[in-house]
């Protein structure tokens, strides 16, 4: 075992990636491929997306600001369709991996950029109940890739389990490289989630037992 705690992202890791839904909307609306990601990556600390995830804008404010950014780039985009793309389905293999980690006694945290606090009911609520600490950008007023939110995740996890947990103790899973970089700088062992099965195999190596299908 090379890590003794695990921190997960939500969208694109425990749930399906919103990038797939973004692509489907772009194709349907005749928009350039990758436009939504490019808009979200332009001025990444101050754009509409960043301010929404820090809870500096409400839905109406985000919609107006995001659609204005799209128009400035020469395209008409429906913000409501972009927001609808965020509702990914839970990935059963990932949920099972979280359960195995919980049964093994590893401290677990969820670190998510989101635009509203997560629902604590239904299947997602059941999953959230497996985590010792949950850190959400919309609650914290800070978002990935800002280093502060990773430090808060470590602090909340340490408080929850009653002992210090450092970055070097943790694996961190995210689907975006830009979010993995600051985690590595803080000592986390990082896993980029592209293919969930591959990611679970990598995480299995880090924790020292199988999470990728075999009991």
Tell me: the pLDDT tens digits for 124-155? 999 999 999 999 999 999 999 999 999 999 99
Residue 215: pLDDT over 90: no
- The pTM of the whole model exceeds 0.85: yes
**Are residues 131 and 181 both part of a single domain?**
yes
Domain count, the chain: 2
Claim to verify: residue 79 and residue 161 sit in the same structural domain: no
Structural domain includes residue 215:
no
Q: Does some domain include residue 122?
A: yes
| 62 and 141 fall within a common domain | no
The answer on 109 and 10 residing in a single domain is yes
Same domain, 141 and 121: yes
Give the integer Cα–Cα distance in Å for 189 and 61: 37
Same domain, 50 and 134: no
Q: Domain range spanning residue 22? A: 18-84
């Amino acid at each position: 075992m090379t890590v003794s705690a695990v921190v997960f992202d939500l969208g694109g890791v425990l749930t399906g990636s919103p990038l797939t839904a973004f692509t489907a909307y772009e194709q349907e609306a005749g928009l350039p491929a990758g436009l939504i990601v490019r808009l979200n990556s332009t001025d990444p600390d101050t754009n509409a997306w960043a301010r929404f995830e820090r809870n500096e804008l409400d839905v109406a404010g985000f919609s107006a600001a995001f659609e204005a950014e799209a128009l400035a780039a020469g395209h008409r985009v429906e913000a409501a369709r972009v927001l609808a793309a965020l509702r990914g389905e839970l990935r059963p293999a990932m949920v099972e991996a979280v359960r195995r980690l919980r049964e093994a006694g590893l401290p677990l945290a969820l670190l998510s950029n989101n635009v509203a606090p997560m629902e604590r009911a239904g299947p997602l609520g059941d999953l959230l109940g497996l985590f010792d600490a949950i850190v959400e950008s919309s609650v914290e007023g800070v978002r990935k890739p800002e280093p502060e939110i990773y430090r808060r995740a470590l602090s909340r996890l340490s408080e929850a389990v009653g002992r210090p947990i450092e970055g070097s103790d943790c694996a961190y899973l995210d689907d975006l490289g830009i979010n993995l970089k600051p985690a590595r700088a803080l000592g986390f062992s990082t896993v980029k989630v592209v293919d969930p099965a591959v990611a679970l195999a990598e995480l299995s190596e880090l924790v020292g037992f199988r999470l990728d299908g075999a009991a």
